[in-house]
Homo-oligomer: A and B are copies of this chain.
Amino acid sequence: MKRNFTLSFFASLLLLLATPVRAQDPLPAWNDGAAKQAILNFVKTTIDPASKNFVPPEQRFATFDQDGTTWVEQPMYTQVIFALDRVGTLAPQHPEWKTTQPFATVLSGDKAAMAKLTMKDLETIMVATHTGMTESEFQIIVKDWLAKAKNPRWDRPYTDLIYEPMLEVMKYLRANGYRTYIVTGGGQDFVRAYAEQVYGIPPEQIIGSALDAKYGYNATGQAILTRPPKLLLNNNFSGKPEDIYLFIGRHPKAAFGNSTGDQQMLEYTQAGGGASLEMLVLHDDAKREYAYGPADGLPNSKVGTFTQALYDEAKAKGWTIISIKNDWRRVFAWER
């Protein structure tokens, strides 16, 4: 027995030594280049207790915009597609919608007319589809829709359109003690319905535009929260750092965005002092995803404006541009 033990001990040791010693690449969906290197350098320097850039674990926060930063936002935000679909689903309960705008346009299915809906029209549609139910009911509605709806270009569920390189960054940051937050102009409760499953991010780490939920009781006296048509947080532009402060009370150490709506979040991140990482996704790959944003000569779009001014600010302040075309080996997980 004793001899066998000794033998197997040495056998294990030999096996261990025979295993090639090589650090695994935490970002395999990224091509080598400045963007990938910026992420690796940031993590390396901020987790090293001997580094002047060391960040104590309790201060390790990383914030991610969602639309256009962690998943596809073209040709429309997914949440808007959800709202338009809901108009169809709810139409039988609202016969008046057939002759009431903007609902009649949505129900007509006329894409050209729908593309002309104004912000005010969309607001009316959002109120009709996002409010009036309890918070729990809304979670179920969103989950049910996501389970069935498909993006027509790729014929895949919308949650398949998450950028694999960004998922890798999230996992890499978390493995090094960073807490990852979604900080989105989209609805906080919409994102909460799938964020834990697709990003590994729990509800308490989702900061988004939010309704002023109203406390009350149902027919049996049970406490419930309902969704009134009243916006409490407009989590975009300056709203992002303001709400990050409200929720976290600290500057993030890393922030990721793709548009002018993220500019202030990145500025606020850098203003925290010490080592920080600010990154902007440039959509320059029409073949694998989309190409848009007036920066770098790309065409304009209705959503996700990456202006030349933002591009210039990024260059001046040492923020890092992520080129989808050049920096991402794979865009989506299913391309493997």
In the complex, which residues of chain B have a beta carbon less than 8 angstroms from the beta carbon of A213?
Answer: 242, 245-246
Question: Which 5 residue pairs of A and B lie closest in terms of their CB atoms, listed nearest first?
Answer: A203-B249, A215-B238, A223-B271, A223-B267, A223-B268
Residue of B nearest to A58 (CB): B202
On whether A215 and B264 interact (CB within 8 A), knowing A224-B271, A225-B241, A242-B225, the answer reads yes
In the complex, which residues of chain B have a beta carbon less than 8 angstroms from the beta carbon of A242?
Answer: 212-215, 225
Q: Report how far A203 CA is from B224 CA in the complex, Å.
A: 27
A285 located at the interface, meaning its Cβ lies under 8 Å from any Cβ of chain B in the complex:
no
Q: Report how far A144 CA is from B176 CA in the complex, Å.
A: 34
* Residues of A in contact, count (CB < 8 Å): 37
A204 located at the interface, meaning its Cβ lies under 8 Å from any Cβ of chain B in the complex:
yes
A–B complex contacts, Cβ < 8 Å, 5 sampled: A202-B249, A204-B249, A214-B238, A223-B267, A224-B271
Q: How many copies does the complex hold?
A: 2
Do residues A247 and B247 form an inter-chain contact, with CB atoms below 8 A? yes
In the complex, which residues of chain B have a beta carbon less than 8 angstroms from the beta carbon of A264?
Answer: 215, 223
What is the distance, in angstroms, from A46's C-beta to the closest C-beta of chain B?
18
Residue of B nearest to A206 (CB): B249
Give the contacts of A218-273 with B (CB-CB under 8 A).
222-225, 232-233, 238-239, 241-242, 245-250, 264, 267-268, 270-271
What is the distance, in angstroms, from A274's C-beta to the closest C-beta of chain B?
14
A130 located at the interface, meaning its Cβ lies under 8 Å from any Cβ of chain B in the complex:
no
A310 located at the interface, meaning its Cβ lies under 8 Å from any Cβ of chain B in the complex:
no
In the complex, which residues of chain B have a beta carbon less than 8 angstroms from the beta carbon of A238?
Answer: 214-216
Residue of B nearest to A240 (CB): B215
A135 located at the interface, meaning its Cβ lies under 8 Å from any Cβ of chain B in the complex:
yes
A36 located at the interface, meaning its Cβ lies under 8 Å from any Cβ of chain B in the complex:
no
A149 located at the interface, meaning its Cβ lies under 8 Å from any Cβ of chain B in the complex:
no
A283 located at the interface, meaning its Cβ lies under 8 Å from any Cβ of chain B in the complex:
no
In the complex, which residues of chain B have a beta carbon less than 8 angstroms from the beta carbon of A135?
Answer: 245
A210 located at the interface, meaning its Cβ lies under 8 Å from any Cβ of chain B in the complex:
yes
Do residues A248 and B214 form an inter-chain contact, with CB atoms below 8 A? no
A62-91 to B contact mask, C-beta < 8 Å, 1/0 = 000000000000000000000000000000
Q: Report how far A270 CA is from B210 CA in the complex, Å.
A: 24
